Structure 1
Amino acid sequence: MLDLNELIQGDPDDPATQLEAGDDDHYDSSSEEHDSPPSTHMEITDPNNMFAALPAHDVTMTDQSSSSYPNTNIEQICSDLQSKLKLNPEHLEIALLESKATPEARHASLVFTNGAYHQINYQDSGSQKAGFAYGSTFRDFVRASARMFLLKPTLEAYSNNPHQNGEIPKTLFYLTLDAVEKQPDAWKTDHLPTSGLRANPDVLNHYREVIGDLLKYQRSNLRTLLCYFFLLADILVTKKKPVVGVIPNRGELLASIYEELPPKSSKLNKSEIKHQVRSNFAMRARMCYARLVMVHYYVHRSKKESQWVEIDERLGILRGSSFDFQKKHADVVLEKDAALFSHKKKFCDLSHTDLTVPTLEDVRNAIATAHSPGLNE
């Protein structure tokens, strides 16, 4: 059985986990200066005031006392999110229902990811392919496992394609596949094709495709958490709606990830979230890098290009680099993150030319500068 508390620490022999938290000179703890749950920073009140200071208590997304914007605007935002996230029509129906259901309803994008989480149960168009239908128990296990592995700061690749990164063992795909294979024999008998049937190439390919599709949806949960504010801002700017307020700093970003991503059976409490935000340097550097890549792609690249490919390629380069290079890479990433997102900047204050990702050459230059005697005096 997977242990989330163990997974979120990463692999002890990985250089990333050996970087001390004290190395982060740009760490800000402003997100810890309140007692409200971290996810309150990620709730929608008024779409015209998306980035304004948010109340500590839960708010109703359709409560006219806290939002002067018409209720129909929520429907429009949901529709736009459906289009941008390339989700099925059923996701829109679920999001519209859930976003108006209770005061505790999460912001639209998280409702959509929850919709994606449940939608797969109804996507049976290929369930009879290769003679075997994978049921909800199998699918739920894969989803829950994937959400836990996405919190692993030493994950070697995020690809949902078994052929994308060779046979690196600590990828999202192979770790999830291994978790399935380690289930008890009785469980596998009930929920998987027989081992003999899985030897059939068509059955094996279908098995991998089903897992890959499930991983794609769970990976999108993390992407949405990383880019939520930029995604919504893009929608509002396109519709010529004002976008004000500040972008969440990395403390708030990490808190939302630690709160929202774990499956229901493995949720972290408030104290555990705060501890991880403060002490997990490897995850801090990893998520800050991922956010920079995601935002860069939203602004500068085609929506059809995969951000995960670039992230996986960079992780591969770092694995083959020295400890000093990996450390300096983390430092440069955190400096960039601090410059962009740790000064309570508004979306309108950011120049698109600044929304770039530190290059390997930037890291080499930073190392060279650090070793130049005349520049450090």
Structure 2
Amino acid sequence: MRFDALVIGAGAAGLMCALTAGRRGFSCALVDHSPVAGRKVRLAGGGKGNVTNRYIASEWYVGDQPGFPDRLLRRCSTAFVLDMLAEFGIGWEERDYGQLFCTTQAVRLVEALVDACRGSGARFFMNTPLGGIRHEDGLFIAETPQGGLEAPRLVIATGSPAWPSCGATDMGMRLARRWGHRVVPVRPVLVPFVCPDTWPLHGLAGVSLPAAVEVHGRAFSSSLLFTHKGLSGPAALQASCLWRPGETLHIDFLPGQSVPEIMHQPQWGKSTVLGLFKKLLPTRLAERLVPPALAGRHVAQTGKKEREALALGVHTHALVPTRTEGMGHAEAAAGGVDTTDINPRTLESRLCPGLYFAGEVLDVTGLLGGYNLHWAWASGKAAGESWKKETR
């Protein structure tokens, strides 16, 4: 069966690529081993699909080439995604930090994309394992149980190994290596931390508070959650995108405030130190952060060095996590196909003409807040709109 393009992966990037190309008159075959399209989209954002963010810029992405997404992000704005939702009759709402969600279940968006792709001439080959792909005489030929599929273009939009319970694999990266592409080693990100048993704050599972977690000089301020294993919550998940094994996290449990200044205020002078900190922090956390020798002392009786020591423990608490909870608990994976050999305008391989990459398979990973889905839309759109009709 002959097509203009074979799109491997029917997730957000693959769907957007096929839809964009189909509306330009190109026929696409979407091939996926999953029985349904858009499995991650269906579950993202608690099922409501955090589809984009109000603030789209490359600073919200990590990768070995930090500026690589710039051009494509400028060509795919937040407004583009909102217009897509409007076209499909899907409402949206804005939450904290510019996160934009569907007001209905994200499955509606996936179904609308699938219908639009079919309406533009795409054919779906779901629940279809690939027997192999070869490149001969300018054609990519994929072997499937339904027969051979061939096209002059191949788009690898298979995602990353993160979230394997959704069927995620590293197949796209293995295919990339076949055509000479280097793959930046993948690691789980947007993932909780596992902390050592010797950590002084171990055993506070269930405690949650606003905090700032700093790594590599960048602080992420949001909710922080203590778990049975360590730390989770948006602040920790964001920090996991930059953290590497053995590195130290610095946690500020009172961001935007100053412990010495608070303790200097006259109204707290007769309060005990622990009593004051219980007003500022969750009780169980305060009991761990305030040394027993100071807990019952009046604030007015503490000296400068004692206040500075308390401030150090509250504002720059140092922690070296043992590890993260791994790919099985990660929302995304950093690393992927090295973008050095990828055209940043079209996402075509510089090593193999007609080969394209889109979505999380590339070494471009967004932070928490809709950035990964936005990259899927932007990269799928770029690949699908780059083909010239005269080459068909």
Task: Tell me whether the two structures share a fold, i.e. TM-score over 0.5.
Answer: no
TM-score by length of 2: 0.26
Which of the pair is proportionally richer in helix? 1
Which of the pair is proportionally richer in strand? 2
Larger Rg: 2
